[in-house]
Structure 1
Amino acid sequence: MTIVDWNRLAERALAGEELEREVARAVLQAEDNQLLEQLAAAYRVRRHYWENRVRLHFLLNAQSGLCPEDCNYCSQSKLSMAEIEKYPFMSQGKILAAAERAHQLQAGTFCMVISGRSPSEKVFNQVLEAVQAVKGRYPMKICACLGLLDQQQTQALAEAGVDRVNHNLNTAEAYHSSICSTHMFQDRVETVTAVQTAGLTTCSGGILGMGETDDDVIDLALSLRRLQVTSVPVNFLIPIPGTPLAEAGTTLTPRQCLRILCLFRLLLPSQEIRIAGGREVHMRQLQPLGLYAANSIFIGDYLTTPGQATRLDFEMIRDAGFVLENADGTPLPAVPVETLIPSAQAAP
């Protein structure tokens, strides 16, 4: 096994060097007794770019289910038998109510997601109207996740006030056909490129624990690096009953999740890295350690699965010595956890 000098790896990441594949494999395959050294190296890089700040994102599933794609991990795909709520695009009133909650929870970014391959003209226009309404009331950034998009659509989103568009690569190009056949890896790359051409910042990451190899994990991170995406959500597969991947299960452990986060930080040193779906399921009591590599989390629920109670998220951030970040990147003043939780949403 390759012997790793973790301090040297941090120095290389800070210098902008791309790690060799052999070294990247060593990060993922390191023994447990090296985990704290790994995290220290990742935190050195994270601290350089993000200090001790944590960004909060709030996710709204604004249109659920009825998707014609066959992504094996997704509870909303045409293959899924999962018992989820299905509904068309939400009313503007419901979207504004969700934005109000996001604002109360100190989220810097409001993420609006719809199911489907690509939005219809009617839904796309509703999205534009909702974006303008939210922007007119709340000082949050807006991230839209709308499926495959072309240059004309991304330009319209930019003009409406969208700050960022999410479109995950999901996995390595070589493994993509194992999880989806209704669109290609290149389709996803082209959407990310269209977002960049429109002058919007890019949010793109993946889902780990779907049966991919270590080389697939590395290839995903390298693809994101070469695309120069701005924000990188790292999801860990939630095997939702009724989805094809539910039966396959996953071999993820809390320690392996931390090693993956360390690798992403070392290969994507300046990017916002977000511990996204599945952190509660797979990282469990080690969730706070993930913040030494990542600088962002979702607060609240995910698309069709519940997240951790908001009180626990705020306490985790505070107890680990981190501080919340405003939408403009400045740290928020420290306040009691109780004041950050809207009374109607308070968790025990």
Structure 2
Amino acid sequence: MPGSAFIAACMEKVLSGVRITFAEAEQLLATNDVMALAECANTITRKFNGDVVDVEALINAKSGRCPEDCSFCAQSTFYETGINKYPLLPTEQLVENAKMAKEGGATSFCLVCAYRSPPEKDFEQICDAIVEIKRQVGTEVNVSLGFMTLERARRLKEIGVKRYNHNLEASESYFSKICTTHDFADRVNTAKTVKEAGLELCCGGIIGMGETARQQLELAFSIAELNPDEVPMNILIGREGTPMEDMGIIDPVDVIKAIAVWRFIMPETILKIAGGREVHLKDRERLALKAGANGIITGGYLTTGGNAPNKDITMIKEIGLKAK
């Protein structure tokens, strides 16, 4: 197993501006020296990103009835999961949630909607809501609306959206195991489209869906090729009613290792621990923020609760970092 000398050599390579190879990433992920890996990933994070943690809140602005069959997702029409389903929330409610998020300490607010692609009426309503949030709250607004045309992406850019989220979710070699209603290339194309429109790209995925260690790294390298500004790492929580409901808890050490290695692969991005962090990491969330992660989603996720923002802000300050 690779030891601290190999890990340090890889760190120096990254610090000098050279990207590690796939083979090196495989060796890093296989190491038993987790603390050395975490410390080196932390050094990379501090060098390229400083001591700031990006804190983002999101709202599930339209829940359920998604026509895609992603096997991890409680919002798919293909599965009976018992979630609260509702159409696009009114603008007033979205503005109020953005205000609460800002008051809670979040510096950005993301509107997430369960669409393949929004119908025109909903897209116009979303645009109106974004304008009002920018006007009344003054917070950074990000969106996640499914597949996107260049024309619509440019419209979002014009009204002040900063970042568009569209995750790859799984590696290309594993993608057909989790979704059959669209393919990996569809997701890559939308990621490229929003970048072409001048929006920042938020693009991550999910670990713990039964993929191999190699496929986990394939996902990371595919994301890195897109040069995203932000990379959310989600850790699967098997939701009742979905094909993945019986997936168990991942060893938190394996999560820490994955975070650290993704930092070696993508040294300059905002690497955000997102859905599932509270369940899988438990008391190791502080370690995750000193092992490569420099961002969090706070206040809950799409169909799952999360930490209160004040708890997360306190945690960040306790480990000597700053919430942004």
Deviation at 1:164, TM superposition (A): 0.8
Q: 1:275 aligns with which of 253, 273, 276?
A: 273
Question: For residue 340 of structure 1, what is the aligned residue in structure 2?
Answer: none
Deviation at 1:40, TM superposition (A): 0.7
Q: Which runs of 5+ in 1 are unaligned?
A: 326-348
Q: Is the 8 A contact 2:53 2:323 kept in 1?
A: yes
CA distance in structure 2 between the partners assigned to 1:55 and 1:242 by the alignment: 33
Q: Is the 8 A contact 2:95 2:133 kept in 1?
A: yes
Question: For residue 257 of structure 2, what is the aligned residue in structure 1?
Answer: 259
> What is the SS of the residue equivalent to 2:268?
coil
CA distance in structure 1 between the partners assigned to 2:108 and 2:205 by the alignment: 19
Question: For residue 299 of structure 2, what is the aligned residue in structure 1?
Answer: 300
Q: Is the 8 A contact 2:143 2:163 kept in 1?
A: yes
Using the aligned pairs only, state the percent identity: 36
- Residue correspondences, number: 322
Question: For residue 26 of structure 2, what is the aligned residue in structure 1?
Answer: 25
Correspondence 1:60 to 2:59 = yes
CA 1:198–1:308 in structure 2 vs 1: closer, same or farther (change >3 Å)?
A: same
CA distance in structure 2 between the partners assigned to 1:110 and 1:2 by the alignment: 40
Deviation at 1:2, TM superposition (A): 4.0
Q: 2:285 aligns with which of 274, 284, 287?
A: 287
- Which amino acid letter does the alignment assign opposite residue 187 of structure 1? D
> What is the SS of the residue equivalent to 1:307?
coil
Correspondence 1:37 to 2:36 = yes
Deviation at 1:310, TM superposition (A): 2.9
Q: Is the 8 A contact 1:64 1:76 kept in 2?
A: yes
- Which amino acid letter does the alignment assign opposite residue 10 of structure 1? M
Deviation at 1:6, TM superposition (A): 2.0
Question: For residue 6 of structure 1, what is the aligned residue in structure 2?
Answer: 7
CA 1:27–1:251 in structure 2 vs 1: closer, same or farther (change >3 Å)?
A: farther
> What is the SS of the residue equivalent to 2:174?
helix
Q: Is the 8 A contact 2:57 2:110 kept in 1?
A: yes
CA distance in structure 1 between the partners assigned to 2:29 and 2:74 by the alignment: 28
CA distance in structure 1 between the partners assigned to 2:196 and 2:308 by the alignment: 38
CA distance in structure 2 between the partners assigned to 1:111 and 1:287 by the alignment: 22
CA distance in structure 2 between the partners assigned to 1:284 and 1:75 by the alignment: 22
Q: Which aligned segments of 4 or more residues in structure 1 are displaced greater than 6 angstroms?
A: none
CA distance in structure 1 between the partners assigned to 2:211 and 2:20 by the alignment: 20
Q: Is the 8 A contact 2:105 2:309 kept in 1?
A: no
CA deviation vs aligned residue, 1:53-101 (integer Å, no higher than 9, x gap)? 1111001000000111000000001222111110000001110110001
> What is the SS of the residue equivalent to 1:148?
coil
> What is the SS of the residue equivalent to 2:201?
strand
Two-structure CA RMSD over aligned residues (Å): 1.2
CA distance in structure 2 between the partners assigned to 1:133 and 1:304 by the alignment: 25
- Which amino acid letter does the alignment assign opposite residue 136 of structure 1? R
> What is the SS of the residue equivalent to 1:228?
coil
CA distance in structure 1 between the partners assigned to 2:24 and 2:287 by the alignment: 22
CA distance in structure 1 between the partners assigned to 2:166 and 2:248 by the alignment: 23
> What is the SS of the residue equivalent to 1:173?
coil
Deviation at 1:161, TM superposition (A): 1.2
Deviation at 1:15, TM superposition (A): 2.4
> What is the SS of the residue equivalent to 1:136?
helix
* TM value normalised by structure 1: 0.90
CA distance in structure 2 between the partners assigned to 1:16 and 1:207 by the alignment: 27
Q: Is the 8 A contact 1:165 1:195 kept in 2?
A: yes
Question: For residue 240 of structure 1, what is the aligned residue in structure 2?
Answer: 239
Deviation at 1:251, TM superposition (A): 5.5
CA distance in structure 2 between the partners assigned to 1:97 and 1:255 by the alignment: 38
Question: For residue 204 of structure 1, what is the aligned residue in structure 2?
Answer: 203
Q: Which runs of 5+ in 2 are unaligned?
A: none
- Which amino acid letter does the alignment assign opposite residue 23 of structure 1? E
Q: Is the 8 A contact 1:171 1:220 kept in 2?
A: yes
CA 1:18–1:49 in structure 2 vs 1: closer, same or farther (change >3 Å)?
A: closer
Q: Is the 8 A contact 1:56 1:296 kept in 2?
A: yes
Deviation at 1:105, TM superposition (A): 1.6
Aligned runs of 1:302-321 on 2, under 5 Å? 302-321=301-320
Aligned runs of 1:323-334 on 2, under 5 Å? 323-325=322-324
* TM value normalised by structure 2: 0.97
